Amino acid sequence: MAKAHLTGLAQVPIRLHKKGSGPALFLLHCLGVDHTLWELAAAGLEDHFTLISYDFPGHGEAPVPERPYAIADLSHQLAGAFEREGLTRAHVAGISLGGLVAQHFAAPIRSSSTAWCSSTRPRATLKKPATCGLNAPGQHARQASPH
């Protein structure tokens, strides 16, 4: 796979937190927290996966960028982390903001699978939020909702 030309947030150094062994699983947090959310939320998964987490801009260890950014920029930042780790595919999971990034990133089918919780679907209105979803490459997301 050819290396993508990385710009914007993808060029900003980020500290990756890794533990466990097995296939790579990127864990993307929601607004107002940092990578440490996954210490509790993903406990036990390190027995089956290499868990990789990091802080989005303005969260935890990551500085606030000088310019505004969008979901696409956060997706490019994730692509930079993939490249840095020498990965062409990995599992990606996210909550809320992290779920939006996971969905955007998975659109060109770079993830082995995606899981997202408390995130809206792409092009969805706020009237129909998705509670959780899971998809594998080439499949439409399956959605679980409390209603």
9 within a domain of the structure (yes/no)? no
pTM: 0.74
More confident residue, 117 or 20: 20
pLDDT tens digit string along 17-70? 999 999 999 999 998 899 999 999 999 999 999 999 999 998 998 888 888 888
Supply the range of the domain harboring residue 30: 14-141
| Mean pLDDT across 126-147 | 43
pLDDT value for 88? 86
7 within a domain of the structure (yes/no)? no
| Mean pLDDT across 89-106 | 90
DSSP notation for 74-92: HHHHHHHHHHHHT-S-EEE
CATH number at residue 19: 3.40.50.1820
More confident residue, 65 or 121: 65
81 within a domain of the structure (yes/no)? yes
70 within a domain of the structure (yes/no)? yes
22 within a domain of the structure (yes/no)? yes
CA distance 86 to 84: 6
Q: Look at residue 15 and tell me whether its pLDDT is greater than 80.
A: yes
CA distance 35 to 48: 19
147 within a domain of the structure (yes/no)? no
2 within a domain of the structure (yes/no)? no
pLDDT value for 75? 92
Band the pLDDT of 93: cuts 50, 70, 90. Answer: very high
121 within a domain of the structure (yes/no)? yes
Number of compact structural domains in the chain: 1
